Amino acid sequence: DKVTLQLKWVAQAQFAGYFVAKDKGFYEEAGLDVEIKPGGPDIAPEQVIAGGGADVIVDWMGGALAAREKGVGLVNIAQPYKKAGMELVCPADGPIKTEADFKGHTLGVWFYGNEYPFFAWMNKLGLSTEGGADGVTVLKQSFDVQPLIQKQADCISVMTYNEYWQLIDAGYKPEDLIVFNYSEMGNDLLEDGLYAMEDKLKDPAFAETMVKFVKASMKGWEYAIANPDEAAGIVMDNGGQDENHQKRMMGEVAKLIGEPDAKLIPEAYERTAKALLDQKIITKQPEGAWTSEITDKM
Amino acid sequence: MQVGRFVHDRLLPIGTILLVIVLAWYVAAYAMNAPFQRDTDRRAGVTPTSSEFLVKTMSQPKPTMPAPHQVVENLWKNTLTVKPWSKRSLVYHAWITLSATLSGFAMGTALGVLIAIGIVHIPALDRSFLPWIIASQTIPILAIAPMIIVLLSAIGITGLLPKALISTYLSFFPVAVGMVKGLRSPDVLHLDLMRTYSANKVQTLWKLRIPASVPFFFTSMKVAIAASLIGAIVGELPTGAVAGIGSKLLAGSYYSQTIDIFAALIAGSIVAILLVTLVDLAGRFVNARMGARQP
Amino acid sequence: MNPVISAQNLDLTFTTNDGPVHALSDITLDIDKGEFVSLIGPSGCGKTTLLRVIADLEQPTGGSISVNGMTPEQARIHRAYGYVFQQAALFPWRTIADNIALPLEVMGIAAAERATRVRDNMALVDLMGFENKFPWQLSGGMQQRASIARALSVQPDMLLMDEPFGALDEIVRDHLNSQLLKLWAKTQKTVVFVTHSIPEAVYLSTRIVVMSPRPGRIHSIIDCNLGADRPLDIRETPEFLAIAHQVREGLREGHSYEG
Amino acid sequence: MNPVISAQNLDLTFTTNDGPVHALSDITLDIDKGEFVSLIGPSGCGKTTLLRVIADLEQPTGGSISVNGMTPEQARIHRAYGYVFQQAALFPWRTIADNIALPLEVMGIAAAERATRVRDNMALVDLMGFENKFPWQLSGGMQQRASIARALSVQPDMLLMDEPFGALDEIVRDHLNSQLLKLWAKTQKTVVFVTHSIPEAVYLSTRIVVMSPRPGRIHSIIDCNLGADRPLDIRETPEFLAIAHQVREGLREGHSYEG
Amino acid sequence: MSAIRPNWQALAALVATLYALTALPFTATMGPALSLAVAALLAAGAILSMLRAARPIETTILAIASFGAAAMLLAGLTGAFGTANAGYFASLAAAWLLGWRLVTVLSGDGSHGDKGSSLVAIAVPALFGIWVLILWECIVRGAGVPFVLLPPPSAIGLRIAGSLPILAADFRQTVLKAVLFGYVVGSLAGFLVAILADRFRFLANGLLPIGNMVSALPMIGIAPIMVIWFGFDWQSKAAVVVVMTFFPMLVNTLAGLAASGDMERDLMRTYGAGHWQVLVKLRLQAAMPFIFNALKINSTLALIGAIVAEFFGTPIVGMGFRISTEVGRMNLDMVWAEIALAAIVGSLFYGGLALLERAVTFWHPSYRR
Ligand SMILES: Nc1ncnc2c1ncn2[C@@H]1O[C@H](COP(=O)(O)OP(=O)(O)OP(=O)(O)O)[C@@H](O)[C@H]1O
Ligand SMILES: Nc1ncnc2c1ncn2[C@@H]1O[C@H](COP(=O)(O)OP(=O)(O)OP(=O)(O)O)[C@@H](O)[C@H]1O
Ligand SMILES: [Mg+2]
Ligand SMILES: [Mg+2]
């Protein structure tokens, strides 16, 4: 069977499991012919799947639920990432040491569906995001760490497995940085999950294919976690950049995945949905936005 | 004589200006890289001498502003030391972009000329269509490029064509605007002459309007080719940065590899200048064929 | 016989940024087939405008006109005439030979025939050897001759000529005058001819229309049938000089000041 | 007295796409201050080219030339002359009055003075009432007159005129001829004048240069001092006719064919 | 002279209507009666419009038939998302064809006499636009295109009405700050460099190739760099606009400066006019049509440039910011609201330039016909 997977981002170790599964023939063993489409900052996987360009996508829960409300019947069928990798980092010699110092400062945030955890957090802290002395000024951050190096922002968003290491490469030592990790603060929203269309899932044949797909993918993840260097090499072969960086990323990603069983933890889902509701990113409690049917059959 | 003129008219001025630019560039590189270097040194607890410091600002791995020699080195490495068709070669990426640019440019020019011809001849088009063409151009292409690519790939069109279409979209407009003016630029007397022959519209177009619009045509094409290049690069972004100058830019910016960005930019501009020069040469050739007075 | 050109009470007013210009007023004129009519009159009196109305390049604001029994527009579409403009109006991107071939191309005449006609007419106006030059490489008079050759190459039944020989020296002019006369006698063309030269008008025409300005109108129409065969030295005969004198008087009367 | 214009063995060859054109050959000519010299010759014989060489619009390929004792370039930069082109060359975006004011603006003449000069010269060429028209709203002859007014408004010591009266009717031409003669007599200008009209040349000039073509060279130079005061009817006197005959003969000899 | 004056639009409309009759009813909620009414109206309009009637009557018939049918077709979509059948689209095409005929009749055949009426000059493009919207609405809703791919214009209109303050703030940030500044500076710089390059051959030979190169730089590449250099606020966007608008102006001005005639240049030479005098009095005037071309092209380029530049680092206001983030949130109606704003601003800008051009280059042959 043919399956098209749309990634959320460019080819990098963040998606190593899928590349490994393909490269190592796990998909083929399961009788699947999988095409992996890399993403990028201008690609909304939700749009791709709505337009019929993909069968299954890697997406964050925030984006998926927002799209669901707009009529794209996305359903979470598996959640390989147990923890969120996003954090906010500030230079230790800067003005911000704790949450209490945010007032009146500029914070770099990613948008394009990645801004929800930040706004949920600020909401919790009771800080306005409209700037001014009592709030924070939000800078729409490009997908790199320049705003911090250029001192355009006092803190910026990074992923543990990616931009954080760019800062380290740029000469910051871990002790030079103050880190606010969304998972540790309990503010995390579910990241890279696998989503498919509701109406297609009603077709048992498709559901069956998805079971095979998720199973083979998790086998890929398992292999990648066990052989990080080889996995990084496979990513490089598929268009990744900077091999050392990919190796490090593989290591960090392994921490977020933990046990590769792909099962969604309902509490994490509830927390995500509530945060989105609180910020009015979605207006009503989502129904049927996830299913354990696929993972149960594995 | 020929060589001497070439040196005097081309090499010398270009060389001088390049030299000035390179010097300014070094100064800028120093100025922009210095603050970060100071921070790094402070964190590392070292106090370099000023000459050491200068060298450091010129050799950061991810500088704010890469120094010219870093870019040249990168260019060298990525063009001459790898096989031109390997994925690491800028030549390969430049070729990908160039092919999309050229096909987009060809389609855009053809479309622009057709639209201009329509507007000049059909009053209904002039009145109803032109305002909407203008409006269409104000739609930020980057916003809808992903949608276009998604839609096209949904109906099975992938590869060169979607990129070329975005190029077309950006490049037809300068041509259309310029050609509307150009096709309307013939002398009133010459139009009268064609009237006395009761020449039909096609003949007037072919024998009078098009030759008279030649200066506008080539000028518009130069602008259009630059626009096509932008279109091709924009079109490369939503395809997941697989190949092309656009993908190199994108990949470079994910990892703050400023040197890569600059190298890709320079590769892009070399492609651009090549294309603009080609159009310019074609313009000169046609002009000479049309008996223009030699300066 | 029906007149080839028949104008009744023609009126033409240009609207310009600072008020209307009354260029033609109450022009009534019939021209028969085979006639050679010269228009003569002070600068700015409307000769060109009248010619342009006949050629359907300008719309009259009053009165009516027919050409070959049709409207000027139909006549133009039927390619009833050849027009020589006051300016040469050559296309700068075409060589002289190509410029002369232009109307033939438009009319779809075969290449071989085109080449013959171009050659013949270039010879007629003495431009051999300049086939491959571009217009700006020619002197003013040569450009004018090229434009004459272009109009003649069409071989129309009717010729509208606006000061075709203005920029030519006496010798060439005499030569072309007699060539034109020969052509006219041979082919029975109708010619409407604008000139400033009284001798030229008298020498060539069957009738001379003297116009006067502001607004442009017909001052008088002078018959001048000097017979079909006119050697150049007819210009010294008393009849000739008498007609010339008559034209000069008419011209002078129409003028606002005395020379 | 030093000649104002002094040409020695001038030679000019144009290189064109299909071979060189020998436009001027071995031209030697001195013109003194206050002279009125006419150039006459067949179409394409190099009159315009010679005038352009004097005006530093064309570089001779051989020989030497001085104007006012300087090179033509220096003379041009010193604004030694006014030039009337064979074509009117009016700027389409300027009204007639503004077109005439153009050289005055370039020379930095004050607005009030400019206005007077524009008015006077427009009156001279009988264009009053057309101040605010644009060039394309004028007849061919009116455009030519505007370009004459433009050159005269500069009040140069030297006038180079290329067939200035070609598109004008006899009456206006006579009028402008006598005006030009008056101006010349009053201000002692040096005039180099291209014309195709033999009577005009004889009437106006102190010397007539007859040129012949291919390559353009001087055929003969004919003195014609008819005295300072020349009423228009001097043109019927025998001396006048004798000179005219001489010029005509020269012209005919230079011609490649007989009219 | 027969009483019927056929034209292809009406004939095609008739054919389409006949086809539609084979597929009644058109949508899930559109009863056969209403569907039949639409077809009848279209057929009547097509036939009546072909009678040799006076122009006002013909336009009235066409307007009633095409817009009446369109209104009914739109009404037939309520609660029928994605259920339209081939008959529906055939009648839609028929209505549109009659609308096209209306535009053709209104704009006349270009002959003398029917120029001028400013009402027609506005009505014709407006009609065209209205039809674009009607087709868009009907196709999107009738065929059930997912909202996240393309929202219908009605939703976009609602969103515009509901988000005026946001749109105003974005307009201020993007247009009034970045675009205006960048447009003026970029065009001016291109113009001045062209003037200088024209004056100094050395500069022309040296600077032009490099100028071409810099200006043909893909803006995607320069936008992040500009953010690094000029900060994330509007200044960096203006810088992108400067770079983008520079080249068209440079190229066009240079071409324009070469456009004046040889005779006119010779004339200025005889006056011993200096370089600058020739420039101001002759060559710049002759260059104006080219310069206006550049200004027109730049007016749209500047807008695109500023918006795209905001896809990179920016404060959280601005049209480009809104577009990129709302795409991420699947609020496609907001995206299109911003696009509509950009289109309106760009068209007004362009229209103003066209008027100015007509005033400045009134002498150009293109306006004398
Ligand atoms: N397009 C125009 N717009 C306004 N006025 C015009 C236009 N064309 C001609 N005129 C005016 O009409 C009048 C007659 O012009 P026309 O060209 O017919 O004169 P003409 O008799 O041919 O003169 P000439 O012998 O100088 O060529 C003039 O006063 C002129 O200013
Ligand atoms: N720019 C040029 N390039 C090539 N040949 C030229 C150029 N200008 C003039 N000629 C040639 O030089 C010769 C003389 O031209 P010129 O214009 O001086 O003639 P003229 O005596 O003024 O003729 P006319 O009385 O017809 O105006 C002609 O044969 C012409 O073809
Ligand atoms: Mg005239
Ligand atoms: Mg000449």
- Given a cut of 80, whether residue A171 has pLDDT beyond it is no
Most confident of B61-70, B215-224, B242-251, E15-24: B215-224
Average pLDDT over residues C25-43: 88
> Distance (Å, rounded) from C-alpha B21 to C-alpha B68?
10
Q: Are residues E120 and E254 in the same domain?
A: no
- Given a cut of 80, whether residue A262 has pLDDT beyond it is no
> What is the per-residue pLDDT for E188?
94
- D49 in ligand 2 pocket by Cβ < 6 Å? yes
Q: Ligand 3 centre and the CA of C48: distance in Å?
A: 4
- Given a cut of 50, whether residue D226 has pLDDT beyond it is yes
Give the closest residue (by CA) to ligand 1 atom 14: C46
* Average model confidence (pLDDT) across chain C: 86
Q: Are residues E87 and E179 in the same domain?
A: no
CB contact (8 A) between residue E209 and residue B220: no
Which residue type is seen at A61?
M
User: Smallest Cα–Cα separation from B142: which of B248, B230, B201?
Assistant: B230
How far is C-alpha E304 from the geometric centre of its chain's CA atoms? Answer: 13
pLDDT tens profile A203-251: 888 888 888 888 888 888 888 888 888 888 888 877 777 777 888 888 8
Domain C-terminal end among E119, E145, E171 = E145
> What is the per-residue pLDDT for E181?
92
Q: Are residues E65 and E211 in the same domain?
A: no
Q: Ligand 4 centre and the CA of D211: distance in Å?
A: 12
Q: Ligand 2 centre and the CA of C139: distance in Å?
A: 4
| Residue D256 confidence class, pLDDT cut points 50, 70, 90 | low
Domain with E87, as residue range(s), is 8-145
pLDDT tens profile B132-158: 787 788 776 666 776 777 777 666 667
- Given a cut of 80, whether residue A3 has pLDDT beyond it is yes
Atom of ligand 1 nearest to the CA of D140: 27
- D43 in ligand 1 pocket by Cβ < 6 Å? no
- D48 in ligand 2 pocket by Cβ < 6 Å? yes
For chain A, give the longest Cα–Cα distance. 60
Judge whether A127 is closer than 8 Å to chain E, CB to CB: no
> What is the per-residue pLDDT for E114?
44
Q: Ligand 3 centre and the CA of A168: distance in Å?
A: 84
> Distance (Å, rounded) from C-alpha A44 to C-alpha A46?
5
- C4 in ligand 1 pocket by Cβ < 6 Å? no
Does some domain include residue E196?
yes
Contact present, C62 and C132 (Cβ < 8 Å): no
Contact flag for A and D (3+ C-beta pairs < 8 Å) = no
Ligand nearest to the CA of C143: 2
Strands D190-194 and D36-40: parallel
- Given a cut of 70, whether residue B87 has pLDDT beyond it is no
How would you label D186-218 residue by residue, b for 16+ Cβ within 10 Å and e otherwise? eeebbbbbbbbbbbbbbbbbbbbbbbbbbbbbb
Give the closest residue (by CA) to ligand 2 atom 2: C137
Q: Residues spanned by CATH 3.40.50.300 within chain C?
A: 1-80+160-259
> What is the per-residue pLDDT for D259?
35
CB contact (8 A) between residue E202 and residue B136: no
Q: Phi first, then psi: what are they for C25, rounded to 5°? A: -140, 120
Q: Are residues E200 and E286 in the same domain?
A: yes
| Residue C258 confidence class, pLDDT cut points 50, 70, 90 | very low
How far is C-alpha E71 from the geometric centre of its chain's CA atoms? Answer: 25
- C173 in ligand 1 pocket by Cβ < 6 Å? no
| Residue B1 confidence class, pLDDT cut points 50, 70, 90 | very low
Gap from C175 CA to chain B (nearest CA, Å): 26
Atom of ligand 1 nearest to the CA of C46: 18
Q: Which of E148, E228, E316 sits opposite A140 (nearest CB)?
A: E316
With CA atoms as reference, the chain A residue closest to E321 would be A140
Q: Phi first, then psi: what are they for A156, rounded to 5°? A: -135, 165
Please state which of the ranges A131-135, A180-184, C91-95, D120-124 shows the lowest mean pLDDT.
Answer: A131-135
> Distance (Å, rounded) from C-alpha C170 to C-alpha D252?
9
Q: Phi first, then psi: what are they for C120, rounded to 5°? A: -60, -45
> What is the per-residue pLDDT for D258?
41
Gap from D234 CA to chain E (nearest CA, Å): 35
Does some domain include residue E220?
yes
Reply yes or no on domain D1-80+160-259 having CATH 3.90.400.10: no
Q: Are residues E81 and E228 in the same domain?
A: no
> pLDDT: is A146 or E300 the higher one?
E300
Q: Which 133-172 residues of chain E touch chain B by CB within 8 A? A: 149-150
Give, as residue ranges, everything with CB less than 5 Å from ion ligand 4.
C 139-140; D 48, 86
Mutate to test the pocket of ligand 1, among D139, D143, D147, D165 (most ligand atoms within 8 A of CB): D139
* Average model confidence (pLDDT) across chain A: 82
CA atoms within 13 A on the CB side of D239: 11
- CB atoms closer than 10 angstroms to residue B209: 24
- C44 in ligand 1 pocket by Cβ < 6 Å? yes
pLDDT tens profile A185-197: 777 778 888 898 8
> What is the per-residue pLDDT for E111?
44
CB contact (8 A) between residue A145 and residue B242: no
> What is the per-residue pLDDT for A87?
86
Gap from E229 CA to chain A (nearest CA, Å): 9
Average pLDDT over residues D207-233: 83
> Distance (Å, rounded) from C-alpha E312 to C-alpha B142?
12
- Given a cut of 80, whether residue A279 has pLDDT beyond it is no
Most confident of A87-91, A98-102, B48-52: A87-91
Q: Are residues E195 and E268 in the same domain?
A: yes
**DSSP conformational letter for B238:** G
> What is the per-residue pLDDT for A88?
87
Residue B290 DSSP SS3: coil
Q: At which residue do the structure tokens 């005039």 appear?
A: D191
Judge whether A292 is closer than 8 Å to chain B, CB to CB: no
How far is C-alpha E328 from the geometric centre of its chain's CA atoms? Answer: 26
Q: Which of A46, A111, A112 sits opposite E148 (nearest CB)?
A: A46
List, for chain E, all residue ranges whose pLDDT scores fall below the cut of 50.
1, 110-116
Q: Phi first, then psi: what are they for A6, rounded to 5°? A: -100, 120
Q: Ligand 1 centre and the CA of C138: distance in Å?
A: 27
Interface of C with B (CB under 8 A): 52, 55-57, 76-79, 81-83, 85, 87, 89, 91-95, 102-103, 105-107, 134, 136, 154
Question: Which ipTM score applies to this complex?
Answer: 0.84
- Given a cut of 90, whether residue B111 has pLDDT beyond it is yes
| Total number of domains in chain E | 2
- Given a cut of 80, whether residue D152 has pLDDT beyond it is yes
> Distance (Å, rounded) from C-alpha C222 to C-alpha C218?
11
Average pLDDT over residues D59-77: 87
> What is the per-residue pLDDT for A23?
85
Residue C146 neighbours by CB under 8 Å, 6+ apart: C88, C90, C96, C99, C100, C122, C125, C127, C130, C135, C138
- Which alpha helices (H) appear in B45-83, and where do they start and end? 50-57, 68-80
Atom of ligand 2 nearest to the CA of B293: 1
> Distance (Å, rounded) from C-alpha B79 to C-alpha B90?
6
Average pLDDT over residues B47-72: 80
pLDDT tens profile A27-58: 888 888 888 888 776 677 888 888 777 888 98
> Distance (Å, rounded) from C-alpha D47 to C-alpha D210?
10
pLDDT tens profile D80-110: 888 888 888 888 888 899 999 988 888 888 8
Q: Are residues E226 and E184 in the same domain?
A: yes
- Residue C78's alpha-carbon distances to A113, B277, C73, E134, in angstroms, are 70, 47, 9, 46
Q: Are residues E108 and E205 in the same domain?
A: no
> pLDDT: is A98 or B103 the higher one?
B103
Residue A159 DSSP SS3: strand
> What is the per-residue pLDDT for D257?
46
User: Smallest Cα–Cα separation from A233: which of A243, A225, A219, A221?
Assistant: A243
Q: Phi first, then psi: what are they for C39, rounded to 5°? A: -105, 130
> Distance (Å, rounded) from C-alpha E343 to C-alpha E319?
12
For a pLDDT cut of 90, what percent of chain B falls above it? Answer: 6
> What is the per-residue pLDDT for B142?
65
